[in-house]
Structure 1
């Protein structure tokens, strides 16, 4: 009940992100959402996540706000013409990239999808025993860098491509 009451400002701020007509206000409301969410994480005892969450996300919002302010004076017709000119080449490069990713990362060499595990297998882990002795950060690191390492690498590759794209737009 307490968490429901304390999460209501985050929900209201989240709704106001979409309802705000001024772009400055639509940037300020996510900051309130992340502040409220990090306070909820503090109440739940996730101290590391509560400290990292606003630093990373509010920093990203600040950078995106700078890009929004810088892009206000760009005319839409010029952007549309540039995008349509490079669309076929970028589509072919993207298809080649995804074909290579799925060709290299097939399900037999690196199991991406969860499968039924045998309880006598060496890879089977009972997390109920391990989680009690680990901190939140150790549990997160173990899961992220061992069992979900492929997804972590794929998401970091996508993020790197996006950051290159933003750099090329400048």
Structure 2
């Protein structure tokens, strides 16, 4: 539905639903940390960014979809190649059962260590500098996004706090004598 939907906002919402489904699959396999990271990073950042960009740009998608049929043969060829690869991978275990046994990995004992604890130990001991560097890169990206979106427009009236505080209270208010029956 992400690709087949005609409305781009609906496509992004279906993409968010797909990310939730992938996170649920991670939870079912016992990788709870990966599920939460997928939700935080992809749903919380990337998909919401796509949604706001699609809504803010207001692109005429009817023009973009007008030439879609000319790419149909290339898409069909790529689809056939992917289907053939999937059949080879899935059917390989049926044709040669010994190969399927050699590919399987041993399952670790879940009572020894939790998935998140093991990942945290590796991340904070072996890769602590890379972890801090990733945090610094994210900080620079956040500051860059703020700088790029900050606009100083001249047609908007703003307060100038320095001139307001620096005014002399005696000259701040002026009295005007108005003759009776006349306006200012």
Query: Which is bigger in relative contact order (C-alpha 8 A, separation at least 6)?
Result: 2
TM bin, normalised by shorter chain, reads 0.3 to 0.5
Larger Rg: 2
Q: TM-score, normalised by structure 2?
A: 0.43
The structure richer in helix per residue is 1
Q: TM-score, normalised by structure 1?
A: 0.46
